[in-house]
Structures are given as structure tokens and as C-alpha cells.
Amino acid sequence: MISFLDAWRHKPTHRRVWSMAAPMILSNISVPLVALVDSAVIGHLPHAHQLGAAAVGGSLYTLLVWAMGFLRMGSTGFAAQAAGREDGGALRQVLLQGLLLAFGLALVLGVLAVPFTGLALGLMQPSAELDALAREYFHTRLFGLPAALASYALVGWFLGTQNARAPLAILLTTNLINLVLDLWFVLGLDWGVAGAARASVVAEWSGALLGLALTRRALRRHPGHLDPTRLMRWHNWRPLLAVNRDIFIRTLALELVFFLITVQGTRLGDATVAANALLLNGLLLTAHALDGLAHAVEALCGHAIGARDRLTLRRSLMVAGAWSLLASLCFALFFMVGGGLFIDLQSDIPAVRDVAHRFLPYLAVLPMVAVWSYLLDGLFIGATRAREMRNAMLIAVLLSLPVGWALQPLGNHGLWLAFLCFMLIRGLSLGAMGWRLGKRDAWFGAVC
């Protein structure tokens, strides 16, 4: 078995990892940066409930869209393995299946979303002003739902083909347009919270249309033909749907955790839910950057599994893992030293700043705890081992919920301690399952 030092000295692996990771880090960081701009722009409006409404409405929309994250993850694993087998026909099938699922699910979710809003806000018990603005923000964002889900499928497919430039173009286009329109609609046109939602809708459709245009060039590099009759046969859909089902359950469990954080924070007051939103922007910044390396693991390990190349699989995981650890330490240091400025740039509301500053130490610890779950998620996605991902997530949720319940008397401190516990258990569960699969040499028995 190859040692860590041997893997680290292999320069071609470093080049392959960073050729995938660097564009994805740049594009991924643009996502929370737009959220930071939203918070900064709305955070300088006069009332805390305006920032809280954007945070709550955004959380509801994110809950809805991220629950469909399997559209990206499932596409990446199957596309990577098809590319490893040099099967151009299978690549075309994965692309079309992902897009068909995206538009079908957007229609279903659009119908269910309105009653979902009322139920969710009823559980949160917000103030009347926050409730009205959050509903307006969320209902506006629904017009961008088909585009958001289609972009998931497109980004996942491009990553599977080891094409990191196309996702970079899609995400940067989406987020730069969002940023510019956010400033114009909210400040220039004085549309307030609704202006931020409208900017996001226009941006999401712009990114999805660009992604569709880029697929033509990408397909030329992978010759092959799609047999339309394959889409009419259930057994050709079953592997993708099975993986997507398990990732969906896993994502719902993860979103439940973030939803409970928002619910509990809202019950602690408008200032607390707004402050937690600013801190979670820091988590999003960290997660999206570290996910760039996880995306490299998805593509490289999935390709290696498709090609049945054990040496490349181990090298890719070790090198990406080492870089992920170094990056997490850098983020922890950043929040320890510059966390106060990070908060102050997002809002000038004294009550919100005061709460956020008090809870900054939790944000500084999070990157070092969370990095392992991000990295291992990439390995399991590339291997299309969704069942193990699902089980690890369910274990983490079931074990951390009683902790959160017991820590309620500590208020927001208890909330953040429970979240740290959840992320720790999640990483340990994935690590244990990955070690077990490695001992049985079972990575190459995944669905292909």
C-alpha cells in the first residue's frame, strides 16, 4: 500500500488535484460572497427585522434547493465513472437524465412550496414585520427554482467529466450578476428585501442558460451516441434514482439541522437570528472553499474507480486530504484574528454586532471539525456510495439531537455547541464507514 509521503511527493497528483480544485474554490467562494453582499446591503437598512427576513426567507429557499443537491452529487459520480470507462453514450445519458429530473422536481416543489412557507414560519414564530417580508422574499425566489436545479445537474455533470472551467463559468456568471443586481435593485431602485430576491432570480436563469450552451462543446471531447430507447427503460434509471434517493435523505437530514438552528435562533429574538445568519455566512465561506477540494476528490476518485485504478484513488485522496487540513487551519486562524472585522463589514446594527461578536469562537473552531466530513463526502460521491453517506448523516443527526435538547438552557451557546457536536459525529461516522470499505477493498464494487 502506498504511504502518505510517497503520495505527497507525486507531483502529477498535486497538479491534477489543483487543476480541479482551484477553479471550483474560486467559483464556490463566490456563492457565500454573494450572501455576504446580501447581508451587508440589507444589514445597512434601518431595521433588524429586514436582515432577519432575508436570513429566514433565504434559509427556507436554501432548504428547498439544497434538498435537491443529489442532482449535482449523483450526476458527478456517474459521469466521473463513465468518463473513466471512456463511455460517451453513458455521459450523454447522465446529462439528459439529470436535466429531466431537475425540471420535473422544480414543478413539484413549486406547487408544494407555498403551504410549506406557512408551516415553517408558524414553527419559527417570528415578529409580524419579519413574517411578511420573509414570505415576499421566499415567494419571489421560487421563480428561479427551475434554473437553480438545472444548474445543479449541469455543474455535477461537468465536474464528473473533469471539466472545472464550465462550473466556474456558470457559478461566477450567476453570482456576479446577482451581486451587481443586488446593489442596483436594493440600493439604486430602493426595492429593499424584495430587490435582493429579484436579483437572485435573474442571476439563476442566466447561469443555467450559460451551462446549457457550454454542454455542446464539452460533448465534442467525449465521442459517443445516446440511444433514446435507453431513457424508456426502468433499469437504466434505477441506479441513478437509488443513489439520488439516498443522497436526498442525507440532504434532508442535514437541512433539518440548519432549519432547527434557524428556528431556535428565531425564538431567541430578531438580533440573535440575524447574528447567527452572519456567523453562518462564515461557515458557508469555509464550506464552499473546502468543497473545492472535495469536488476534486469526487472527480478524480470517481474517474479512478471507473478505470479501476487503486493507486490513483489512494494518491488523490491523500493529497487532497492534506491540502484540506491546511486550508481548514488557515480559515480557523482567519476567524480568530479577523472575525470581528468580518462581522462588522456585514452589519452596523449594534445589537446584531454584539451578539455575533460573542459567538465568534465557535466559528473559529468549526473549520477544523467540519473539514473531514467535506473531504469524505467527496470520496463517497465519486464512488456513488450514497447509502453509506445517508447512514452516516442519520447517525450524526440522531446522536446530536438529544445533545441539542439537553443544551437548550444555555441558549445560543447550547445551540452552537450542539452544532459542533453534530459536525464531529458526522466526520467520525463517515471515516469509520470509509475505513470499513477500504479494509474489504469494496470501493470498486460501487454502482457504475
**Tens digit of each residue's pLDDT (9 = 90 or more) over 267-287:** 888 788 888 888 888 888 888
Asked whether the predicted pLDDT for residue 133 surpasses 80, the reply is no
Average pLDDT over residues 399-415: 90
Q: Looking at the 3D structure of the chain, how many domains does it have?
A: 1
Asked whether the predicted pLDDT for residue 2 surpasses 80, the reply is no
Alpha-carbon distance of 146 to 65, in angstroms, equals 10
Alpha-carbon distance of 37 to 197, in angstroms, equals 13
* Close Cβ partners of 214 (under 8 Å, ≥ 6 residues apart): 154, 158, 166, 169, 170
What is the structure's pLDDT at 8? 87
What is the structure's pLDDT at 124? 66
Q: Which three cell numbers stand for residue 1?
A: 500500500
Q: Which of 161-170, 216-225, 344-353, 439-448 has the lowest mean pLDDT?
A: 439-448
Query: In angstroms, what is the C-alpha Rg of the chain?
Result: 21
CA atoms within 13 A on the CB side of 105: 25
Alpha-carbon distance of 226 to 319, in angstroms, equals 36
Q: Which of 24-28, 197-201, 220-224, 424-428 holds the top average pLDDT?
A: 424-428
pLDDT, tens only, 342-392? 888 877 788 888 888 999 999 999 999 999 999 999 999 888 898 999 999
Alpha-carbon distance of 198 to 202, in angstroms, equals 7
What is the structure's pLDDT at 135? 78
Percent of the chain with pLDDT over 70: 92
Band (44; pLDDT cuts 50, 70, 90): low
Average pLDDT over residues 34-43: 66
* Close Cβ partners of 415 (under 8 Å, ≥ 6 residues apart): 261, 264, 265, 268, 276, 404, 407
- Higher-pLDDT residue of 237, 57: 237
What is the structure's pLDDT at 35? 59
**226: left (phi > 0), else alpha (psi -120 to 50), else beta?**
beta
Asked whether the predicted pLDDT for residue 41 surpasses 70, the reply is yes
Asked whether the predicted pLDDT for residue 46 surpasses 70, the reply is no
Band (123; pLDDT cuts 50, 70, 90): low
Band (394; pLDDT cuts 50, 70, 90): very high
| Residues 296, 378 contacting (CB under 8 angstroms) | yes
Q: How many CB atoms lie within 10 A of CB 354?
A: 12
Average pLDDT, the chain: 84
Asked whether the predicted pLDDT for residue 447 surpasses 70, the reply is no
Alpha-carbon distance of 56 to 127, in angstroms, equals 12
Angle subtended at Cα 82 by Cα 18 and Cα 78, rounded to the nearest 5 degrees = 80
* Residue 436 domain boundaries: 4-445
| Residues 27, 167 contacting (CB under 8 angstroms) | yes
Asked whether the predicted pLDDT for residue 446 surpasses 50, the reply is no
pLDDT, tens only, 274-332? 888 888 888 888 888 888 889 889 888 888 888 888 888 889 999 999 999 999 999 99
Length in residues, the chain: 448
What is the structure's pLDDT at 33? 60
Q: Which of 60-64, 98-102, 299-303 has the lowest mean pLDDT?
A: 60-64
Average pLDDT over residues 231-256: 84
Average pLDDT over residues 141-165: 89
Q: How many CB atoms lie within 10 A of CB 342?
A: 20
- Higher-pLDDT residue of 201, 268: 201
Average pLDDT over residues 418-436: 93
Q: What is the 3-state secondary structure (H, E, C) of the chain?
A: CCCHHHHHCCHHHHHHHHHHHHHHHHHHHHHHHHHHHHHHHHHCCCCHHHHHHHHHHHHHHHHHHHCCCHHHHHHHHHHHHHHHCCCHHHHHHHHHHHHHHHHHHHHHHHHHHHHHHHHHHHHHCCCHHHHHHHHHHHHHHHHHHHHHHHHHHHHHHHHHCCCCHHHHHHHHHHHHHHHHHHHHHHHHCCCHHHHHHHHHHHHHHHHHHHHHHHHHHHHHCCCCCCCHHHHHCHHHHHHHHHHHHHHHHHHHHHHHHHHHHHHHHHHCCHHHHHHHHHHHHHHHHHHHHHHHHHHHHHHHHHHHHHCCCHHHHHHHHHHHHHHHHHHHHHHHHHHHHHHHHHHHHHCCCHHHHHHHHHCHHHHHHHHHHHHHHHHHHHHHHHCCCHHHHHHHHHHHHHHHHHHHHHCHHHCHHHHHHHHHHHHHHHHHHHHHHHHHHHHCCCHHHCCC
What is the structure's pLDDT at 379? 92
Asked whether the predicted pLDDT for residue 49 surpasses 70, the reply is no
What is the structure's pLDDT at 430? 94
Band (60; pLDDT cuts 50, 70, 90): confident
Asked whether the predicted pLDDT for residue 442 surpasses 80, the reply is no
Alpha-carbon distance of 362 to 41, in angstroms, equals 25
What is the structure's pLDDT at 32? 55
What is the structure's pLDDT at 139? 83
- 191 burial (CB, 10 Å; 0-12 / 13-18 / 19+) is middle
Q: Which three cell numbers stand for residue 206?
A: 442566466
What is the structure's pLDDT at 219? 84
Q: Which of 28-42, 188-202, 291-305 has the lowest mean pLDDT?
A: 28-42
